[in-house]
Amino acid sequence: MAQATFDPRPGLKIVVIDDDPTGSQTVHGCPLLLRWDAGTLAAGLAHPSPLLFLLANTRALAPAAAADRVREICGALRPALERAMAAGTISSWLVVSRGDSTLRGHFPLEVDVISEELGPFDATLLVPAFLEGGRTTVDGEHRLHGRPVHESPFARDGLFAYATSHLPDWVEEKSGGRIPATAVDRIGWRELEAGGPPLLRHLARLESNVCVAVDGASEDHLASLASAVRSLIAGSPAGAGLGAGRPRRFLFQCAASLIQALASLPPQPLAPAALASLRRGGGGAPLPGLVLVGSHVPLADRQLERLLAAPGCVGVELEVAKVQRLLEGPEPALLLASLEQAWGRRLAEVLAGGFTPVLYTSRGEARCRHAGERRELGLALAGVMARLAAAQAPALGYLISKGGITTHTLLADGLDLDHVELQGQLLPGLSLVLAAMETAVGTATSAHLGPLPVLTFPGNLGDEDTLWEAWRRMEAQAGPA
């Protein structure tokens, strides 16, 4: 298998605390950690890639639990970074809070906790542009395919709704007025295009962890910002009057595109067809696949409908209302286990018939009395899907998992993994990771088949054909030679 080539010398390590498992969708060749014990962190920091992702899954949690999760991660990360620096494994580091490019998530809560635990920082740079998904920021306004993002269905999310696309106003709204729009600094696209000493001077004079909303409508814009940041954090800023010596410290709240610009990775070594050929085979024939769809945004609904129309796919509906009733009644665990057995038998029947089962939750958002009930239901549904998929995993050639909570629960709980290895993107923004099954479920029956390819599919990615196209590409491959 082709591997990315990285500079073996100790250098900058970019540590990404990701609020779901899909934020590595612009990069390749790095580990994604699902645990943050000392040994797992040490191995991740020793990896030759300049990137290390920690999959926090905080978007699935209530605010207090999300803060506790980030604080726990930072508490484990600080001594691990100190040891890596002392050992010469890395020479410096910066931290990124990766969040959703459609502005859903715990902001500013998570960057506040990171600042408390790993700061102080001179500034927090807010860069939500995700160019691969049509998310750009122009003149301070965040847009989805050219339209203000607050006009999209994502802005009406049941847990993370918002009313404005203008980033300074959005910061004021999400901070409850603690950070007024007038206190948010701005770096516009013209400044990014000019680059050079003026941009360096702007960044160098930031202090007291000011929030900075940054435009981004092209790769050149993000590359300009990344170049200036890397110069300043190295303590050797170019240009006169910038104050040689003191490295600047920046914290980032951003989507996936800036991460690639900061890391400046070499080209992805595996082309999409080669990624698809990682599908596992048994006895010379490719093993079947399984698709999970937990995301309930309108785009995911259209993608699911398109996939279910394919002759090779058979839907297996996980009835949300039924699960919700069981959770509210007596002995939910016992009754849910009985339902899972029935769904598991149905999946096995579809696979035995030579079709790809598509396990999906009933469409639409369930009616819940409060946010806590909504989160509890979401986690319960993800848990059911993860257990069902894990039971089939030893005999599968690949998995496609759509939705951040669904995917994290599959990897961390269903497959019981401490990390996965990111290979690259099958389609723009659609990552393929390898799950080492010999260290997780299915040890006796699947270890000899090699790691299981899992496509981690964001809920808000692509158009109505993207899920079908991903499935088609995986099905077109006959597995590794």
pLDDT band at 370 (very low <50, low <70, confident <90, very high): confident
Residue 324's pLDDT is what? Answer: 80
- For tokens 């992702």, name the residue: 53
pLDDT interval class at 372 (50, 70, 90):
confident
Reported as type and span, the H/E element at residue 115 is helix 109-118
The answer to whether the pTM exceeds 0.85 is yes
What lies within 8 Å, CB to CB, of 164 at 6+ separation is: 150, 170, 173
For the segment 156-167, what is each residue's pLDDT rounded down to a tens digit?
988 899 999 999
Q: What is the CATH number of domain 12-263?
A: 3.40.50.10840
Assign 235 a pLDDT band (cuts: 50, 70, 90).
low
Out of 71-85, 373-387, 449-463, least confident range: 373-387
Distance CA 209, CA 116 (A): 11
Determine the pLDDT at residue 240: 41
Q: What are the tokens at 327?
A: 């959770």
CA–CA distance, 142 with 456 (Å, rounded to integer) = 25
Is the Cβ–Cβ distance between 332 and 376 less than 8 Å?
A: no
Q: Is 455 helix (H, G, I), strand (E, B) or coil?
A: strand
Query: DSSP string of 362-410?
Result: PSSPPP-SSHHHHHHHHHHHHHHHHHHHHHHGGG-SEEEEESHHHHHHI
Burial class (CB in 10 A: 0-12, 13-18, 19+), 334: exposed
Q: What is the pLDDT of residues 181-223, one digit of tens each?
A: 999 999 999 999 999 999 999 999 999 999 999 999 999 999 9
Q: Where are the domains of the chain?
A: 12-263, 272-475
Asked whether the predicted pLDDT for residue 321 surpasses 90, the reply is: no
In angstroms, the CA 293 to CA 382 distance is 10
Backbone phi and psi for residue 402, each to the nearest 5 degrees, phi listed first = -105, 125
253-279 b/e with 16+ CB inside 10 Å = b?
bbbbbbbbbbbebeebebebebbbbbb
Question: Has domain 272-475 been given CATH number 1.10.287.3510?
Answer: no
Q: What is the pLDDT, as a whole number, of residue 479?
A: 38
**pLDDT tier for residue 148 given thresholds of 50, 70 and 90:** very high
Q: Residue 272 pLDDT more than 80?
A: yes
Q: Read off the pLDDT of each residue in 57-65 and give the average, rounded to a whole number.
A: 93
What does the pLDDT read at residue 322?
A: 83
- The two domains 12-263 and 272-475 share their CATH topology (first three levels equal): no
